[in-house]
A and B are shown apart, each in its own frame.
Chain A
């Protein structure tokens, strides 16, 4: 499967700050890019997702920025809170055709310091 490369591996942000996690993909055939949040001992939960026909999507404090030409997308968490401390995964998938599941990045361990 084509990889999606995620960085940084870990991130420490002060409470109230902006957390930024980046991902880069290789295959332009993918047209669905979600971000998942995972707490210890839990399964991943969808946070926000985007298609490449838009450059930005915002839901509350969470924003995805998408750069189609650079094949990159990023998650911005505004006003980061200690409850946001978790592992975040970007992923890629298809909206039409195929049944090969989602391809996930390796994850970013985010710590929000109070």
Chain B
């Protein structure tokens, strides 16, 4: 079956531009996460959705970052007035169940290929 897809795969923006990054999770997956991965680093958590509810946005680096998942499936990460430090790969992950309530192991997070954002 189809995995997590993200678009665009690459985005070049001029400093100050707004960008929107899209994530299509695996169909039926309740949980959706956004991560930011700087070059040569591990992914860093940005925000978490359970269906359409944004339950945690503690990792968003500034109020220029905004995420939504209005119908509980597709999610969009929006970055306003982009800065050079926003250059990174933005990863989306989804999991089948509700995060943190697994009876045994945590639900596996399936990652998309990421969107590589370059701000000039």
Contact = CB atoms under 8 A, between A and B. Distances in A.
Given A46-B109, A49-B106, A95-B105, A106 B41 contact: yes
Which residue of B45, B48, B93, B110 has the most chain A CB atoms within 10 A of its CB atom?
Answer: B45
Interface of chain A, main secondary structure: loop
Contacts of B109: 46, 102
A62 interface: no
Q: Is chain B's binding surface mostly helix, strand, loop or mixed? A: loop
A44 B111 contact: yes
A105 B42 contact: yes
A43 B4 CA distance: 10
A103 B45 contact: yes
Sorting the interface of chain A by its residue count into under 10, 10 to 19, 20 to 34 or 35 or more gives: 20 to 34
A59 interface: no
A106 B105 contact: no
B42 A106 contact: yes
B43 A99 contact: no
Interface string A72-114: 0000000000000000010101111111111111110000000
Given A43-B114, A44-B111, A100 B42 contact: no
B54 to A, nearest CB: 10
A89 B100 contact: no
Interface of A: 1, 6, 32, 34, 36, 41-46, 49, 51, 89, 91, 93-107
Interface of B: 4, 33, 35, 40-46, 48, 50, 55-56, 58-59, 91, 93, 99-102, 104-106, 108-114
